[in-house]
Amino acid sequence: MKFSINQKVFYNALNIVRRAVAKNQTLPILTGIFLSLEKNTLTLKSTDLELGIKYNLKVEGQIDGSIVMPATQFLNIIRELPDEEIKIELNQDKWQLQIKCLNSLFKINGFDPDEFPNLPQVEESANFNFPASKFKEMIKKVRISTSKDETQPALTGALFEVEKEKVKMVSTNTYRLSYIEAPLKTNVDEKIAVILPGSTLQELNNLLEDEGSVDIEVDSNYVRFTFNGIEVISRLIEGKFPNYELVIPDESNSKFRAELSQLQGAVKRASLIAKLDANIINIFADAGLMEINSAEGSSGYAHEEVKIDLEGPDQKINIDAGYFIDVLKVLDDDEINIEMIGPLNPLVVKSESEAGDKFIYLIMPVRSQS
C-alpha cells in the first residue's frame, strides 16, 4: 500500500471512524482502524462489534493494500503533523506503516487486516431517505431521556417507528419521556418498530450535518445510516419498549405559556441551590406568574418569578430541575407551552411546527424534600 494525502483531510477522516473503535483490550484488533487502498480510494473502517463506521475518501494512490493501525497512536501522530502532504507506505512483511511528512518520519507497527471482522450486512431491509437536519433534531430531543440503567437495555435507547407517512422516536428512563414525530412519505408497507442504542444516537448526533439527507436501512437485527460518504452500522437493541401511549395525557386542566429564555434562566438559577441537595424545584403557576423555588435546606434557598399566560386553574408541582433544564436547552421556539393536570400528574412540554413536527416531553412529579 502506498498513497499520498493532505494531513488535515486525513486527520478529519480518521476522526470520523475512530468513534466506533473499541475501548477495551479484549480483542486488540478492535482497538485499531482498518485502512484499505484500491486505486485512488482509501476505505477506513472501525467497529466495537455493536457499532461500525465506514468512510471512503479520495487519495493519490500508487500501490493497493490493507492494514489495521492502532487507533490512538495513529491519530496522535497524524494530528501533530503539519498541514502538508503525507506519504504513507506499507511494509507488508512486517505489517508496518511508514509515515513521511516534510522532516518527520515514523514507522508504526500494525495488525494483519485479515483478522479484522467484516461489518455486518443489513439484509432484506426496509429503506427510506430522511432530511439530515430533521433527523438530527429528532435525535437531539430524544437523547436527553434515554436511561443509563444497563439492567433495562430497551430504555438505554430510543424506539424508532416508521410508518407510511410519518416517523416517530420515543425515549424514557421512567422519570421522564421524550416523544417526537415528523411527517415523511416512505415506501414502508408495514410499520417498523426497532430500538436504536443510545450510543449510536450520540455518534449520529456528532456526525450528522444540517445539509443533505440520510439514507436509512433497517432489518430485524441491524440499521445502517449513510450520509456524506459515511456509513454507520449499528446493532439494534433486543427487547420490548414500554407502551408510551399509556403515559402521555390526552388532555390537561391548565395550559400556560412563557418566554423560553426567561424560564430557562430562572430554572438554571434556582438549580444552583437546588442541586446542592436533591435538585428538586417547586413550581407554582397562577394567572400571570410562575414561581420557581428550591427547597429550603442546609445550603440555602432560591426563589424566581417568570411572567406567564395561564388558561385554567392554578397549578403546583415538584420536579427534577435537571430534567427541566435539559428540555429547555433543546427547544428552538421563542416561547414554551406547558400543560398540567395536577400535582400528581406529569408536567408536559409541547411544541409543534407548521411543517407538522410534534414534540412532547413529560417530567414525572417527585415528593418535596422540604
Residue 262 sits in the same domain as residue 317: yes
pTM over 0.85: yes
Residue 242 sits in the same domain as residue 264: no
Residue 120 falls within a domain, yes or no?
no
Residue 59 falls within a domain, yes or no?
yes
Residue 108 sits in the same domain as residue 130: no
Residue 370 falls within a domain, yes or no?
no
pLDDT reported for residue 302 = 96
Domains held by the chain: number: 3
DSSP-H helix ranges across the chain:
7-17, 71-80, 132-143, 198-207, 260-274, 321-330
CA-nearest of 154, 151, 184, 183 to 171 is: 154
Residue 308 falls within a domain, yes or no?
yes
Identify the burial level of 206 via C-beta atoms within 10 angstroms of its C-beta, where 0-12 means exposed, 13-18 middle and 19 or more buried. exposed
Chain segment 249-272, per-residue pLDDT in tens: 999 999 999 999 999 999 999 999
Instruction: Tell me which DSSP letter residue 122 carries.
Output: -
Residue 155 falls within a domain, yes or no?
yes
Residue 295 falls within a domain, yes or no?
yes
Residue 190 sits in the same domain as residue 269: no
* CATH at residue 11: 3.10.150.10
Picking from 246, 269, 298, the residue at the C-terminal end of a domain is: 246
First-residue to last-residue Cα distance in the chain: 68
pLDDT reported for residue 369 = 54
Residue 217 sits in the same domain as residue 237: yes
Instruction: Name residues of the chain where pLDDT drops below 70.
Output: 368-370
CA 34, 12, 91 angle in degrees (round to 5)?
A: 40
pLDDT reported for residue 33 = 98
Residue 241 sits in the same domain as residue 138: yes
pLDDT reported for residue 37 = 98
Residue 133 sits in the same domain as residue 234: yes
pLDDT reported for residue 368 = 66
Instruction: Tell me which DSSP letter residue 1 carries.
Output: -
Q: How far apart are CA 13 and CA 8, in angstroms?
A: 9
Picking from 95, 115, 135, the residue at the C-terminal end of a domain is: 115
Residue 9 falls within a domain, yes or no?
yes
Chain segment 131-150, per-residue pLDDT in tens: 999 999 999 999 999 999 99
pLDDT reported for residue 94 = 93
Which residue segment(s) compose the domain that 58 sits in? 2-115
Residue 99 sits in the same domain as residue 137: no
Q: How far apart are CA 177 and CA 151, in angstroms?
A: 18
Residue 6 sits in the same domain as residue 110: yes
Residue 234 falls within a domain, yes or no?
yes
pLDDT reported for residue 154 = 97
Q: How far apart are CA 265 and CA 366, in angstroms?
A: 22
The position carrying cell 514507522 is 107
Picking from 91, 115, 139, the residue at the C-terminal end of a domain is: 115
